[in-house]
């Protein structure tokens, strides 16, 4: 570590000296070499990057280091809505993630997976899927399914799953394939960042056919379901496949269609269909928001 880095760390004074050196080096990469994603803006001025990055990023990453071996620590350093690429070689990232997972023993894992590109070290985290407790998956669910198909073990103990993706109809079967591996799920959030709309003529080509899942996809423990874009969900037909007998809370949101049409379609096509398989309808709590973009 250079004298400059040591002086900057000392100035911050927030107890970051014990963080992994690789993490600090990544933060300095963030401070000195900014690579801007075309969709991300408002980066800090380079002159203020080093101190501010250490001050603001380290507490966030300390929380992650202490609670969850995330697979994307060295792929992206996240700060609010900003992200930069780490210059560490993928083999260094892979070795670090592998070693961290080994040191964590059999402890439950809270994982964050970003399937936005080829990141080979995600395989290490997927190999430990039997230890997953909570998971957040960002990007195309197809990427997640590709990795899940490699697994010898499945996330049978996973209780909370968040999917953050830009919904396209080709992702619908991937989501169902993913959910088939998660029989212990209690909470599921489909966080749609934006919706892709198609004409009625095109839509049916992408709908999930019930005949593909003659017995449906049952999540016997799921009590909470949040749908970030109900219009997309209905057009894919996923709600006709899901079986949620223990469902207690259903939250629906749509920002792509008018309120009147959304209310009618949501009540009939989502609540009505899902409710057919809910054991205790009197206990089902349903709320909907339309014309509001949650993310």
Give the residue ranges of DSSP H helices in the chain: 3-12, 21-32, 46-67, 90-103, 122-126, 141-148, 172-179, 200-203, 230-236, 259-265, 272-275
Reference 238, options 192, 289, 286; nearest CA is: 192
96, 22 contact by CB (below 8 A): yes
Share above pLDDT 90 across residues of the chain, in percent, rounded to a whole number: 14
Judged against a pLDDT cut of 50, whether residue 95 lies above it is answered with yes
* 239-252: pLDDT as tens digits: 899 999 999 999 88
Q: Tokens 């992650």 sit at which residue?
A: 64
pLDDT in tens, 27-66: 554 444 334 433 333 333 333 444 555 555 555 555 544 4
pTM value is: 0.69
Domains of the chain plus CATH, in order, are 106-290 (3.80.10)
CA 295 – CA 293 distance, rounded (Å): 6
């Amino acid at each position: 570590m250079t004298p400059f880095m040591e002086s900057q760390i000392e100035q911050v004074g927030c107890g970051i000296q014990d963080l992994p050196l690789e993490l600090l080096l990544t933060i300095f990469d963030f401070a000195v070499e900014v690579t801007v994603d075309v969709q991300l803006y408002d980066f800090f001025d380079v002159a203020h990057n080093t101190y501010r990055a250490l001050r603001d990023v380290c507490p966030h990453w300390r929380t992650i280091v202490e609670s969850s071996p995330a697979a994307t620590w060295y792929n992206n350093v996240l700060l609010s809505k900003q992200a930069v690429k780490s210059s560490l070689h993928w083999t260094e990232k892979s070795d670090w993630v592998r070693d961290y997972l080994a040191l964590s023993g059999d402890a439950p894992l809270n994982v964050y997976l970003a399937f936005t590109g080829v990141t080979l070290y995600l395989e290490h985290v997927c190999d430990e899927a039997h230890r997953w407790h909570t998971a957040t998956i960002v990007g195309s669910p197809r990427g997640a399914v590709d990795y899940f198909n490699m697994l010898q073990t499945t996330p049978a103990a996973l209780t909370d799953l968040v999917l953050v993706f830009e919904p396209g109809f080709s992702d619908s079967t991937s989501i169902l394939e993913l959910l088939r591996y998660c029989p212990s799920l209690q909470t599921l959030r489909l966080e749609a960042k934006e919706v892709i709309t198609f004409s009625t003529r095109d839509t049916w080509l992408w709908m999930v056919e019930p005949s593909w899942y003659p017995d449906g996809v049952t999540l016997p423990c799921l009590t909470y379901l949040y749908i970030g874009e109900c219009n997309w969900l209905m057009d894919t037909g996923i709600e006709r496949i899901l079986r949620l007998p223990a469902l207690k809370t259903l939250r629906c949101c749509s920002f792509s269609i008018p309120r009147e049409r959304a209310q009618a379609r949501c009540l009939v096509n989502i609540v009505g269909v899902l409710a057919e398989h809910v054991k205790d309808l009197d206990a089902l709590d349903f709320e909907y928001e339309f014309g509001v973009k949650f993310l």
